[in-house]
């Protein structure tokens, strides 16, 4: 009888210790989330603008979800399927593209910003030092400290190209097809978290959402499939 009771007590103690361990891990995760402030809306979210929220799945991986905006299409395999497997449904809207080009040229001096001379070359040359391009994108509810190189390249392309196809603009730390960790932005580390450290410079998820909407409007063709 005593041995039975001791076994039961040991089992109860084991369950208690396991519960405490899980509670500690949960608290660590919660404190990490609070510290990074990843539940707060990014600065791009203005009145009526988009709100991006981050959450942890387990203790390692993370995903981005969109709330409070019915027009947003969740980032899932179905989105990738829509972008890749049904190209015939995408049609270039030449009229809307021409209108957007005129809007951009009203805010951005393309010749000044993108012309490189021997005396003007500097670190971060690609318009990072000149914020005229931010004026246009701010009207689209996108106002980070610095626009990403990807969105700046779109700004350049919109002024000099007849049609734009974007490849590889995927700002999340996981593969949309396999869910495996990916190198984030231009860093080599895989599975990097999008936290306030990134938001201090860029708003990549918000840029992706904007580009996806432009894809739907026929302004640019987004391609997310793997390179051959």
Cα 53 from Cα 37, distance rounded (Å): 10
- Paired with 65 in beta bridges are 53
C-alpha angle 113/132/110, rounded to 5°?
30
| φ and ψ at residue 55, rounded to 5 degrees | -145, 155
Rounded to 10°, the helix 149-160/94-107 angle is 110
First-to-last C-alpha distance (Å) of the chain: 69
- Check: CB of residue 192 under 8 Å from CB of residue 184: yes
- Cα 136 to Cα 38: distance, rounded to the nearest angstrom: 27
Residues with catalytic roles? 202
Q: Where are the alpha helices (H) located in the chain, listed in sequence order?
A: 2-36, 77-84, 94-107, 110-114, 132-138, 149-160, 196-199, 204-216
Contact 69, 51 (CB under 8 A): yes
The CA dihedral of 155, 69, 178, 197, to the nearest 10 degrees, is: 60
């Amino acid at each position: 009888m005593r041995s039975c009771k001791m076994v039961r007590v040991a089992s109860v103690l084991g369950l208690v210790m396991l519960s405490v361990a899980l509670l500690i891990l949960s608290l660590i995760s919660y404190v990490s989330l609070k510290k990074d402030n990843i539940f707060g809306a990014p600065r791009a979210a203005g009145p009526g603008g988009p709100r991006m929220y981050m959450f942890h799945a387990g203790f390692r991986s993370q995903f981005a979800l969109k709330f409070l905006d019915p027009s947003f299409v969740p980032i899932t395999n179905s989105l990738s399927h829509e972008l890749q497997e049904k190209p015939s449904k995408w049609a270039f809207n030449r009229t809307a593209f021409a209108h957007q080009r005129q809007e951009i040229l009203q805010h951005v001096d393309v010749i000044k910003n993108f012309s490189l001379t021997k005396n003007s070359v500097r670190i971060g040359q690609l318009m990072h030092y000149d914020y005229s391009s931010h004026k246009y994108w701010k009207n689209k509810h996108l106002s980070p400290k610095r626009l990403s190189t990807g969105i700046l390249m779109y700004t350049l392309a919109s002024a000099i190209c007849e049609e734009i196809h974007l490849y590889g603009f995927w700002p999340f730390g996981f593969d949309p097809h396999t869910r495996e960790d990916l190198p984030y932005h231009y860093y080599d580390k895989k599975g990097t978290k999008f936290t306030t450290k990134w938001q201090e410079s860029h708003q990549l998820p918000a840029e992706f959402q904007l580009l996806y909407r432009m894809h739907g409007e026929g302004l640019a063709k987004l391609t997310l499939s793997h390179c051959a």
